[in-house]
Amino acid sequence: MKLSRTTLVAVVLVVAALGIIGIYFLTMPPPAQPTPPTAPTPPEQPTPPTQPQPPKPEQPVQPPPGPTLQTLTIGTSTISVPSDFYDFVQKVKTGEVKVTINFWTSMSDWEVSVMKSVVEMFQKEYPGVTVKYTNVQNLKEQVKAGVLTGDVENTAHVFTWAHDWTGDLADGGAIVALDQYLPPETITDLKKQYATSAFTSGMYKLRLYGLPWASEAIALVCNKDFVPTAPRSWSEYESIMQQWYNPSERKYGLAYQIDPYHVYPFVTAFGGFYYDDDTDAVGVNSPGAVEGLRFYITHVMRYMYTADTGMEAQLKILLEGRAPCMITGPWNSKTIQENIRNPVVYAIPPIDGKTPRPFSGIKLLWITSVTANDKNRLYASILFSLWFTLSDDGLRVLVDAGYIPVKISILQYLQANADKYPMILGFAQSVANSVPMPKSAKMNYVWGPVADALNAIVTKYNEEGPDAAAGAVKPLLDEAQSKILTKIRG
Amino acid sequence: MARAKSRGLYPARVAYMLIIPSLAMYLFFSLWPVAYSVYIAFTDANNYNIASEPRIRELQAQLASITGYLQGNRELVLEQTYRADAYLGEVSGYLVELKRMIEHSTPETFPVVELMQLRSRCDDALTRAARIVTSNTTFLYYYENLGDALSRAVALIDGGVWGDIDRIVGFKLAISADDLSQLRSSTVPKIDRALAMLEQARSMLKQVESDYDLFVRAATRGLEEEIDRISLHVVGLQNFKTLSSDSRFPNSIFKTLLFVLTSVPLKVTVGVMLAFLFSSELIYGRKVMRALLLIPWALPVLLSVTTWRMFMAPQMGPLWAFLQSLGLDFNIYNKEWDAFLAYNIVEMWLAYPFIMTVTMAAISSVPRELLESATVDGASAWQRFKEIMLPLTARPILFASILTAGASLQAFMVPLLINNGGPTKEVQFLWFARTTAGVNEMMVLFGYNRAYLDQQYGLSAAAYLVVVAILFLYALVWYFLIYKRTTPGGA
A238 and A341 in a single domain? The answer is yes
The answer to whether residue B489 sits within a structural domain is no
DSSP state of A301: G
Q: How far is CA A150 from CA A206, B53, B54, in A?
A: 26, 12, 10
- Residue-level pLDDT at B411: 92
- Assess if residue B295 is contained within a domain: yes
Torsion of CA A54, A57, A61, A66, to 10 degrees: -80
Q: Is B139 inside any structural domain?
A: yes
Q: Which of A21, A197, A316 sits opposite B163 (nearest CB)?
A: A197
pLDDT at B57 over 50: yes
Q: What are phi and psi of B267, to 5 degrees?
A: -60, -45
A126 — pLDDT class (breaks 50, 70, 90): very high
Phi, psi of A323 (to 5 degrees): -150, 145
CA dihedral B460, B461, B462, B468 (to 10 degrees): 110
Asked whether residue A352 is domain-assigned, the answer is yes
Report which of residues A490 and A352 the model is more confident about. A352
Residue B491 located in a structural domain: no
CATH for B180: 1.20.1330
> Do A205 and A343 sit in the same domain of this protein?
no
| C-beta atoms of B155 and A278 within 8 A | yes
Structural domain containing residue A338: 219-357+440-489
Q: What is the DSSP code (8-state) at residue A305?
A: -
CA atoms within 13 A on the CB side of A270: 20
If asked whether residues B15 and B64 sit together in one domain, one would say no
Residue B254 burial (CB count, 10 A): 15
* Chain B stretch 241-270, residues whose beta carbon is closer than 8 A to a beta carbon of chain A: none
- Taking the C-alpha atoms of residue A361 and residue A164, their distance in angstroms, rounded to an integer, is 7
- Residues A338 and A484 grouped into a single domain: yes
- Kindly state whether residues B60 and B178 are assigned to the same domain: yes
Give the per-residue pLDDT at A41: 35
Q: How many Å lie between the alpha carbon of B225 and the closest alpha carbon of chain A?
A: 13
Q: Do both A323 and A371 map to the same domain?
A: no
- The DSSP H or E segment spanning A213 is strand A210-217
Which pLDDT does position B116 carry in this prediction?
Answer: 87
pLDDT tens string B277-313: 888 777 788 888 888 888 888 889 999 999 999 999 8
Taking the C-alpha atoms of residue A393 and residue A257, their distance in angstroms, rounded to an integer, is 35
Residue B489 confidence (pLDDT) above 50: no
Q: Which residues of A touch B422 (CB under 8 A)?
A: 455
> Taking the model in full, what pTM does it have?
0.77
Q: What is the pLDDT of residues B379-424, one digit of tens each?
A: 888 888 888 888 888 888 988 998 999 899 999 999 999 988 878 8
Q: What sign does the dihedral A261-A265-A266-A269 (CA atoms) show?
A: positive
**For position A325, which CATH number holds?**
3.40.190.10
Question: Contact, B70 vs B139, CB < 8 A?
Answer: yes
Residues A248 and A170 in one domain: no
Query: Among B360, B354, B347, which Cα is nearest to B261's?
Result: B347
* Same domain for A151 and A202: yes
pLDDT at B271 over 90: yes
Question: Do B63 and B138 lie in a common domain?
Answer: yes
Cα B285 to Cα B468: distance, rounded to the nearest angstrom: 45
Residues 187-246 of B with CB under 8 A from A: 230-232, 235
For residue B122, the chain A residues in CB contact (below 8 A) are: none
Bridge partners (DSSP) listed for residue A436: A360
Q: Quote the CA–CA distance of B413 and B441 in Å, as a whole number.
A: 11
Distance from CA of B233 to the nearest CA of A (A): 10
For residue A47, what is the nearest residue in chain B, using CA coordinates?
B58
In a domain, A3, yes or no: no
Strand partners, A223: A343
Q: Which of B65, B123, B135 sits opposite A188 (nearest CB)?
A: B123
Same domain, A398 and A321: no
Q: Specify if A47 maps to a domain.
A: no
Same domain, residue pair A92 and A165: yes
The DSSP line for A156-206 is -SEEEEEGGGHHHHHHTT-B--GGGTS-HHHHHHHHTTB-HHHHHTTEETT
Do B132 and B126 meet the contact criterion of CB atoms below 8 Å apart? no
CA angle centred on A75, ends A70 and A80, rounded to 5°:
20
Q: Is residue A206 part of a domain?
A: yes
DSSP letter at A368?
Answer: B
Residue A428 located in a structural domain: no
Tell me if A51 is assigned to some domain.
no
**Same domain, residue pair A237 and A101:** no
Q: Is the pLDDT of residue A219 over 90?
A: yes
- Region A410-416: what's the mean pLDDT? 89
**pLDDT tens, position by position, A316-365:** 999 999 999 999 999 888 889 889 988 999 999 999 888 899 999 999 99
Same domain, A165 and A303: no
Give the residue with greater pLDDT, B223 vs A291: A291
What is the C-alpha separation between B290 and B284, in angstroms, rounded? 11
Question: Closest by alpha carbon to A423, among A357, A346, A320, A335?
Answer: A346
Which of A452, A476, A484 should we substitute to test contact with B (largest number of B Cβ atoms within 10 Å)? A452
Residues A193 and A225 in one domain: no
**pLDDT tens-digit map of A141-192:** 899 889 888 888 899 999 999 998 888 888 888 999 999 899 999 999 999 8
Same structural domain, B218 and B349: no
Q: How many domains does chain B have?
A: 3
Contacts of B57 in chain A (CB under 8 A): 45, 48, 173
Give residue B210's domain range.
Answer: 55-229
**Per-residue confidence (pLDDT) for residue A490, from 0 to 100:** 62
The answer to whether residue A52 sits within a structural domain is no
